Amino acid sequence: MDLEGRTGPVAKMLVIVAMFVLAMALGVGTAFAATISNQVPVNGSTVTSPATVSVDINDTMTFSAATAAPTVKLDGNALAATLTGSGANVTVSAAVPGTLSAGAHTVVATAKNMRAATDTSTWTFTVGDMALPTVSIVSPVNGTIVDTLSPVVSAQVTEATDVTFTFDGGAPVLGVVDGTGLAVPSVAPTFADGSTHVVVVTATNEGGSASAASSFKVSRATPMTGDCLICHSTAAAAAAPNHTSTSTNCGGTDCHSSDVTITHKSLGCAVCHSSSDPVVQGAIATKDTSCTTCHDNPHPADSSDSQAVCLSCHSHINSETFAMSVHAGVTGPGATDASCVGCHDYHSPSSTIYAAKGAPAANSTALCYGCHGKGAAAGMDVQTPSTLGGTPTPTVASHIFNPGAHSARETLADLATNRHAACEDCHAPHEAQLGLHIPSGIDGTGALAAPVLYGATNVTIDYSTDASSNWAAPSAADYKMGKVTSTSTEASLCLKCHAGPGEPATGEASGLKTSGTSTIYYRSDLGQEFNPNNASGHNVGQGGMKSAPIYTDSTGVVRSDTWQIPTTAWISGVTTPADGIITDAQITCTDCHTGGSTATAVGPHGSTQQWMLDPNYPVDWTGVTCSQMSSGTNYNQCLCAKCHPGAATVSAVSNVHGGNHTSYMCGQCHIAVPHGWKRPRLLLNANVDSAPYRTPGSPGGLTFVLAKAHTGSWSQSDCGQVGCGTHSATTTSPYIP
**CATH code of the domain covering residue 110:** 2.60.40.1220
Return the pLDDT at 591.
Answer: 82
- Please write the tens of the pLDDT for every residue from 675-723: 999 999 899 888 888 877 887 666 678 888 899 988 877 888 888 877 6
Q: What is the signed CA dihedral for 250, 252, 256, 258, rounded to 10 degrees?
A: 70
* Residue 707: inside a domain: yes
Q: Would you say residue 46 lies in a domain?
A: yes
Residue predicted with more confidence, 668 or 349: 668
The verdict on 681 and 593 lying in the same domain is no
Q: pLDDT band at residue 391, thresholds of 50, 70 and 90?
A: very low
For residue 617, pLDDT over 90 is answered with no
Query: Which of 727, 731, 610, 591 lies closest to 668, judged by CA?
Result: 727
Please tell me whether residues 624 and 652 are part of one structural domain.
Answer: yes
Q: Say yes or no: 342 and 254 in one domain.
A: yes
Mean pLDDT of 475-481: 90
Mean pLDDT to the nearest integer, 391-412: 61
Residues 691, 591: one domain?
Answer: no
Is residue 647 located within the same domain as residue 540?
no
- Sheet of 208-218, strands arranged across: 134-139, 154-158, 182-185, 173-177, 162-167, 196-205, 208-218, 145-146
Percent of the chain with pLDDT over 70: 66
- Find the domain containing 477 and state its range: 369-545+584-617
Please report, for the domain that includes residue 176, its CATH number.
2.60.40.3780
Tell whether 224 is covered by a domain.
Answer: no
Whether residue 355 is found in the same domain as residue 374:
no
Does any domain span residue 158? yes
Instruction: Give residue 394's pLDDT band: very low, low, confident or very high (50, 70, 90).
Output: very low
Residue 380 lies in a domain: yes
Task: Name the residue among 483, 463, 441, 703 with its Cα closest to residue 578.
Answer: 441
Same domain as 678, residue 611: no
**Entry pTM:** 0.59
Helix, strand, coil shares of the chain, percent, nearest 5, are: 20, 20, 55
The whole-number average pLDDT for the span 576-593 is: 67
Of 86, 109, 127, which closes a domain?
127
In terms of domains, do 374 and 359 share one?
Answer: no
- The per-residue pLDDT for range 115-162, each reduced to its tens digit, is 889 999 999 999 877 678 899 999 999 999 887 888 999 999 998 889
In what helix (H) or strand (E) does residue 340 lie, and over which residues does it extend?
Answer: helix 340-343
| Mean pLDDT score, 551-567 | 86
The answer as to whether 684 is a domain residue is yes
Among residues 162, 183, 218, the one where a domain terminates is: 218
Residues 419 and 290 in one domain: no
422 and 361, same structural domain? no
> 163 vs 220, which has greater pLDDT?
163
Winning range, highest mean pLDDT, from 233-242, 394-403, 503-512: 394-403
Residue 623 in any domain: the answer is yes
* 26 lies in some domain: no
Report the candidate in 616, 458, 639, 441 with the shortest Cα–Cα distance to residue 538. Answer: 639
Q: How confident is the model at residue 325 (pLDDT cuts 50, 70, 90)?
A: confident
Most confident of 28-37, 272-281, 304-313, 605-614: 272-281
- The two most distant CA atoms of the chain are separated, in Å, by 144
Q: Please indicate, yes or no, whether residues 40 and 100 belong to a single structural domain of this protein.
A: yes
User: Is the same domain home to 115 and 149?
Assistant: no
Count structural domains, the chain: 5
CA-closest candidate to residue 324, choices 421, 502, 451, 199: 451
Which residue, of 325, 349, 368, is where some domain finishes?
368
